[in-house]
Structure 1
Amino acid sequence: MKNFIVICIALLIITACAAPQPPVVPTNTPVPSFETATPFTASTATPAIATSTVATLPPIFTPTNTAVAPAATLTSSPPVMGIHNPYAVILVSAGDVLNIRSSAGTGHSIVGSFEPTAVGVNRTGPAASAGGDRWVEIQNPAGGTGWVNANFLTEYVAPSAFCTDSRVNDLLNNVRSAMLNSNGDLLESLVSPEHGLDLRLWRWGTVANYTPKEAAWVFESDYVVSWGPAPGSGTETSGTFSEQPLPKLQEVFSANYSLHCNNTLDLATFSLEPWPAEYTNINFYTVYKPGSEQYGGLDWRAWIAGVEFVQGTPKLVALIHFQWEP
């Protein structure tokens, strides 16, 4: 009986376990929805890359232990060999100018000019020949450089320096010796190699120019020069160097003459503009022989001797004769 009861209870338990379960009621918990993702399309455009300007940097130098040079002191440039700056303009008539050209020769354009009495002209060094004339390069006051005919330049010497230069007195003493002794070789060494010797028997008469070589034989020359009219009488004067200028030179240099630096004395009383305007930048001495009591002082005579410097050495460049005439 007991076994029967146990079997019944076991059957009831098995039946209960196999009975159907009640359905699960869903809750209101939202369920996320999934959208179909749009596929990613890669852009085919090349992106613009901003560029920057890269400054070029100076190279980096590794410092050394060498001493640092002191800052340069600005000084005037040394003179070019054979050049004696400054120069001055000569032989240009009043009212005219010395043209500065772009290159050597009159066929080139004018780029400036110098007044007939200009000073402070500085050469740069180069020189050239054009049309039979020597041309030199100079500093153009308007800027840059230019070219001028060298015949119209002379080495500038301040009057104060000229009048105290003992070498000029030595030159005049040698001129005296050459004239009194008719020494052509000596005279040749005294005449300017740049411009020769301009000799005037009369201030407004003929200008006879002698190169150094011509001065060497001028005492023996038989060439007759028409020297022009005498200032008082107007009489035409002609003759060789030995016939006309030389006796008057010897008369003055053999007398008790006096020297007057850059001073024409009262020669302007007898001749207008005793020292030509085109010689303004050429220094001179008046060699004056006073007149005698016998003739009331009227037999005075004078020569003006112009001196230019060539390579720093004084040379004879002009002689002009003066005398009293009724």
Structure 2
Amino acid sequence: MIALAVLALGFLEIAALRLLGIDGNRITAALLALTPYVAVGGLLLGGVSLAFRHWWIGGVVLVVAIALVGMLLPRAFASAQPVAHGPKLRVMSSNQYLGKADVASVVRLVRENQVDVLNLLELTPREAAALERAGLFQLLPYRVFKPQFGGAGSGIASRYPLTELSLTGPSRMEQPSARVDVHGTAVEVVAVHPIPPTTDPQEWKKEMAGLPRPNPGGTVRILAGDFNSTVDHATFRDLLDAGYTDAGLSRGEGFKPTWPSSFFPPPVTIDHVLVDPRVAVDGYRVLDVPDSDHHAVLAEVSLP
């Protein structure tokens, strides 16, 4: 009885934070990322409690768990797309794991998937040079690279001409932005990489708040990168509430994890491609990148 009550209280605390939209501290932010697992655990806990005739515990836990599941289920279903007759654009984001990711595989993925814009996170000077030797800039000749030692560097490489912009607020890690000229159609792209909430939740919230919001009636914006956030973080949902569409969610791929590439800790979805609400998402894939702890994410979109 005591063990079930303790587990139930823990489950209800995380569920309440998720349902109320509170990210809390670094511990609760980490646990909120595991909400799909928490929901399944709640169903099991509720069933076990009822089997042992602890009616109140089982009943309350089961009702809350079902509410969580109902909130999560839409991620598995594609949504309607806006009508968009503009140029096609393929955007890929890859976290390079402190510059350890296999550069030949990254270039191969760019070539095979005909990527137009590539956002690279945790880009180091050594890996930037290795990417050049591997032929990346023959495929994507334009770049705004800000490599750094450690995990702070980022970059944008493009098939189309780039004009560097400054669209984000202050951040500990580089988050370059640029205007992409796609056959005369302008698109503003940001390589997103705020610090994790487990490092400093308040700074994470500030950096997420510093990301540009959609520009209705203006230039189309696309944010792609390692957000260190899942859809179960209220701080991330603020971006969706501002008008962005999550490419993975819109194609019914919201449960596909992107980190870690191993099975421990439990995989979660923290890499995203967010697009202007006028943009149609035609396809979305999660791709393996050898020697990285993240999977890459690739979205094919139609511009308005």
TM over 0.5: no
TM-score (ref. length: structure 2) = 0.23
Larger proportion of helix: 2
Higher relative contact order (CA 8 A, sep 6+): 2
TM-score (ref. length: structure 1) = 0.22
Larger Rg: 1
